[in-house]
Structure 1
Amino acid sequence: MDVGREARRAPARLRRGDRGSEADRERRMSAPNNVVEPIEKSWKELNQLVESLGPMGLTMTGPDGWAVKDHLVHVAAWEHSLIALLDGSDRRSAMGIGPEASETDSINAAVWSLHREEKPEQALAYFRQTHTLLMKLLGGMSDSDLALPYNHYQRNDPRDPGDDRPALDWVAGNTYEHYAEHITWIRAIQR
């Protein structure tokens, strides 16, 4: 968002009476960065789907052997990884797995193995608590913070020095883009 442009346009909007909705004003005042809104939108969609299934629906299993609760734990584990990325901690440790799991598939298998015996209520609590922690962290970050590269945050586990992609790429990939994938898979289980 170009703050200067918005500041110049604001008086004209106010004179016209174009103040936007209450929700628009609240969002502009409360969102510290531009990633919060798409995360919240996609999170709401995922939560509505989960709520529509009820507790027994969390045990429905797809052809790959994953129950809905496994998808929720998986999303939460990757959110924990994102929290660790942004606070400079070890990402695999944050997920509760060891360094032997290094590729995405082996990480996912390790997370599944770690949590597979959890009851649906435990999986749901982990899913929601982790998201709350992540949103608290993101709520204190600016767009400038999220534009910093991965290596700025992960100095002990850097990527290729030439990889200057912003941390925002990991935020998107481990939140709203990730939720969308799992919404699709959960809906497929539901059918």
Structure 2
Amino acid sequence: MATLASAAEQLEATRAELLSLLASLDEAALDQPGRVDGWSIKNVLAHLAAWEEWVVQVLPQRMASGTTPDNFRERATNEDRFNALEVAERAELTPGEQLMELERVRAELLSYVRSLPAAEAQRRNPWPEWPGTLPEYLLEALRDHEAEHLGTLRAALAARE
């Protein structure tokens, strides 16, 4: 069973892989439209930050009451609409600012989950839609999501070489 510590390590490893992949790219390359399925790399980073921020905002209530706030549930019901709105909201950010936002959101997430008592984090079925533990959720919802986009970014960058 995953622990908060092991989940945090895996989240950090996936993020390090993502940042390493992008380290050699300048801001113009990160901001070039259409590099990844119609999005710029910066847009992909905005998408990742938006979903992680959604998790950061709903986790306290989910862990305390087992519910997801209605306004957050509604926002995530239509994923395509959510993605379009959230990426558009971050359009004015430079690629460097988008990277900083990505790191800020991750720091908030880790700060929150590390503040939880271990027993609470290991509780099964903390909200009705999730049968596992919080660490398992973090791995499936965030690590796997980021890894999926990491693979897409790798393929897009390899195709451009």
The question of a shared fold, defined as TM-score above 0.5 by the shorter chain, is answered with yes
- Residue 45 in structure 1 maps to residue 45 in structure 2: no
The TM-score, its normalising length taken from structure 2, stands at 0.75
Contact kept in structure 1, 2:4 and 2:121, CA below 8 Å:
no
Structure 2, unpaired ranges of 5+: 63-67
Question: Between Structure 1 and Structure 2, how many residues are aligned?
Answer: 150
Moved more, 63-72 or 52-61: 52-61
Structure with higher helix content = 2
Helix, strand or coil for the counterpart of 2:25?
helix
8 Å Cα contact 2:4-2:135 kept in structure 1: no
- Structure 2 Cα separation of the partners of residues 138 and 101 of structure 1: 21
The 5 Å alignment of 1:116-135 reads 116-135=91-110
Query: What are the superposed Cα offsets for residues 40-70 of structure 1, whole Å, 9 maximum, x if unpaired?
Result: 1111111111212232221133253211011
TM-score, normalized by length of structure 1? 0.65
CA contact (8 A) 2:14 2:143 kept: yes
Return the index of the structure with the highest Cα Rg. Answer: 1
Q: Are the structure 2 counterparts of residues 122 and 92 from structure 1 closer, same or farther at C-alpha, using a change threshold of 3 Å?
A: farther
Q: Give, as a single letter, the amino acid of the residue that structure 2 aligns with 1:186.
A: L
* Greater mean deviation of Cα atoms: 129-138 or 51-60: 51-60
1:147 offset after TM fit, Å?
3.1
The structure 2 residue matched to 1:65, chosen from 18, 23, 38, is 38
- Equivalent residue number for residue 185 of structure 1: 152
Q: CA shift at 1:133, angstroms?
A: 1.2
What do residues 106-163 of structure 1 show as CA deviations (whole Å, max 9, x unaligned)? 2212212222333212212211111111121222235533333242xxxxxx64xxx5
Give the distance between the partners of 2:36 and 2:50, measured in 1 at CA.
Answer: 22
CA contact (8 A) 1:84 1:91 kept: no
Cα distance change of structure 1 residues 146 and 174 upon mapping to structure 2, 3 Å threshold: same
- Measured after TM superposition, the shift of residue 32 of structure 1 is 5.5
For residue 43 of structure 1, what is the amino acid of its counterpart? R
Aligned equivalent of 2:85: 110
Per mean C-alpha deviation after superposition, the further-off stretch among 32-41 and 166-175 is: 166-175
Q: Percent identity, please.
A: 24
Shift of 1:99: 3.8
- How big is the alpha-carbon RMSD for the aligned residues of Structure 1 and Structure 2? 2.9
CA contact (8 A) 2:36 2:153 kept: no
1:34 and 1:143 in contact (8 A); partners too: no
Matched to 1:187, the amino acid is R
Confirm whether residue 78 of structure 1 aligns to residue 51 of structure 2.
yes
> Comparing both chains, which one has the higher relative contact order based on Cα–Cα distances under 8 Å and sequence gaps of 6 or more?
2
